[in-house]
């Protein structure tokens, strides 16, 4: 009887220990914090889609807090300030755009060396492998290939006399590399083409592109890196009595309901989709799985693709909802 009592007491104590330990583990279960820092501006429709993807993924995990931040309009110095602030907050993970890897190199390498996992979205470090910032995964466009895709798609539709590439984020190497892809293809075809700094301001950018067109009347093709710049240029050309899609053919990146309208009306010939929602969503999901379970995400997930013109009506609702 005494032996049975001893066994009961031991089992009771062990049960209490297990329950107590389990309860302690539950009470002390780690909560993760991730910062997402983008070069923005974060109010741009493109970046609102990325933000939606970030927030939708974050909502899946009750033990995850995500801070999405960046400058209101593109400004590399301010972006670096946000990046420094995010690292100083000592998060468990960092997701960031590799806007200018040489300028970001020292800061990110130091943080990574101290154990901070980093995932890149939207813009990669395209330097040779041995010189790249050692982030664990990249989700987004291969910028040079984006320019090549835009040029080749244009050449399927018509042969320009002269083209320009409107760089709306001077200082962002991914936007510069995208333009180089466009220019290289056009140059190989014997078509005069050059980059144009159109600033981060869509209105000012439209005036710069219009001035170039007036100065070079044979310019019949414009490729811009952002849909707001294309939309604004369409409006200005019409105000000047020109026919966008006829006198000047315009192609771009990204999509808003207005862009869809202009494509259906033939004023914009096509748009390329970088799928920013998916970039934000997968960035957060991959980071969470890496932090909590130690999973290694894919090294690179390219998200670039043409926005299919024949499916515009089907995709319109998704564009309006902020998914595409």
User: In this predicted model, what pLDDT tens digit does every residue of 159-213 receive, in sequence order?
Assistant: 999 999 999 999 999 999 999 999 999 999 999 999 999 999 999 999 999 999 9
User: In this predicted model, what pLDDT tens digit does every residue of 108-152 receive, in sequence order?
Assistant: 999 999 999 999 999 999 999 999 999 999 999 999 999 999 999
User: ∠ CA(51), CA(53), CA(59), 5° rounding?
Assistant: 100
Q: Same domain for 137 and 279?
A: yes
User: In this predicted model, what pLDDT tens digit does every residue of 65-92 receive, in sequence order?
Assistant: 999 999 999 999 999 999 999 999 999 9
Q: Where residue 7 falls among pLDDT bands split at 50, 70, 90?
A: very low
pLDDT score for 4: 36
pLDDT higher at 154 or 309: 154
What SS3 class is residue 297?
coil
pTM of the model: 0.87
Q: Do you know the residue count of the chain?
A: 324
Closest Cα partner for 282 from 271, 266, 295?
A: 295
Residue 11 lies in a domain: no
- The tally of domains found in the chain comes to 2
pLDDT score for 312: 85
What SS3 class is residue 94?
strand
Q: Where residue 309 falls among pLDDT bands split at 50, 70, 90?
A: confident
Q: Which percentage of the chain shows pLDDT scores above 90? A: 86
Q: Same domain for 70 and 181?
A: no
Report the pLDDT averaged over residues 278-288.
98
Q: Same domain for 96 and 242?
A: no
Does the structure show a pLDDT above 50 at 278? yes
Q: Same domain for 171 and 240?
A: yes
- Range of the structural domain that residue 192 is part of: 143-273
Q: Same domain for 149 and 268?
A: yes
Q: Same domain for 42 and 58?
A: yes
Q: Same domain for 101 and 116?
A: yes
Whole-number average pLDDT of the chain? 91
Q: Same domain for 41 and 153?
A: no
pLDDT score for 25: 39
Q: Same domain for 155 and 54?
A: no
Structure tokens at 293: 């379970």
pLDDT score for 308: 76
DSSP β-bridge partners for residue 318: none
Q: Same domain for 249 and 156?
A: yes
Does the structure show a pLDDT above 60 at 10? no
Residue 321 lies in a domain: no
pLDDT score for 266: 95
What SS3 class is residue 155?
helix
Does the structure show a pLDDT above 90 at 2? no
Q: Where residue 272 falls among pLDDT bands split at 50, 70, 90?
A: very high
- Decide: 141 and 123 in contact? Cβ < 8 Å: yes
CATH code of residue 156:
3.40.50.2300
Start-end of H helices in the chain: 2-27, 45-58, 76-88, 101-113, 143-157, 173-188, 202-215, 227-239, 257-264, 276-293, 312-321
Residue 98 lies in a domain: yes
User: Distance between alpha carbon 4 and the CA centroid of its chain, in Å?
Assistant: 67
User: In this predicted model, what pLDDT tens digit does every residue of 18-70 receive, in sequence order?
Assistant: 333 333 334 357 899 999 999 988 889 999 999 999 999 999 999 999 999 99
Q: Same domain for 70 and 151?
A: no
């Amino acid at each position: 009887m005494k032996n049975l009592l001893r066994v009961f007491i031991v089992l009771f104590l062990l049960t209490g220990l297990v329950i107590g330990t389990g309860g302690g583990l539950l009470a002390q279960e780690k909560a993760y914090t991730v910062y997402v820092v983008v070069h923005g501006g974060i109010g741009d429709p493109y970046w609102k889609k990325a933000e939606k993807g970030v927030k939708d993924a974050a909502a899946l995990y009750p033990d995850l807090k995500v801070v999405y931040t960046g400058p209101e309009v593109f400004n590399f110095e301010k972006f670096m300030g946000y990046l420094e602030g995010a690292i100083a907050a000592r998060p468990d993970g960092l997701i960031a755009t590799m806007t200018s890897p040489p300028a970001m190199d020292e800061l990110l390498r130091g943080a990574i060396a101290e154990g901070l996992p980093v995932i890149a979205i939207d813009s990669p470090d395209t330097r040779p492998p041995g010189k790249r910032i050692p982030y664990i995964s990249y989700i987004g466009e291969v910028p040079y290939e984006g320019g090549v895709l835009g040029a080749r798609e244009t050449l399927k539709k018509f042969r320009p006399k002269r083209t320009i590439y409107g760089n709306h984020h001077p200082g962002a190497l991914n936007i510069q590399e995208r333009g180089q892809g466009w220019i290289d293809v056009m140059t190989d075809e014997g078509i005069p083409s050059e980059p144009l700094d159109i600033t981060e301001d869509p209105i000012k950018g439209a005036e710069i592109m219009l001035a170039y067109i007036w100065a070079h009347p044979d310019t019949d093709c414009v490729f811009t890196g952002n849909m707001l710049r294309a939309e604004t240029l369409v409006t200005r050309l019409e105000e000047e009595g020109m026919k966008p899609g006829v006198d000047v053919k315009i192609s771009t990146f990204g999509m808003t309901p207005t862009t869809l309208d202009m494509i259906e009306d033939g004023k914009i010939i096509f748009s390329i989709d970088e799928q920013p929602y998916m970039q934000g969503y997968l960035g957060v999901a991959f980071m969470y799985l890496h932090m909590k379970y130690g999973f290694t995400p894919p090294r690179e997930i390219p998200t670039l693709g043409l926005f299919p013109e024949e499916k515009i009506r089907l995709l319109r609702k998704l564009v309006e909802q902020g998914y595409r």
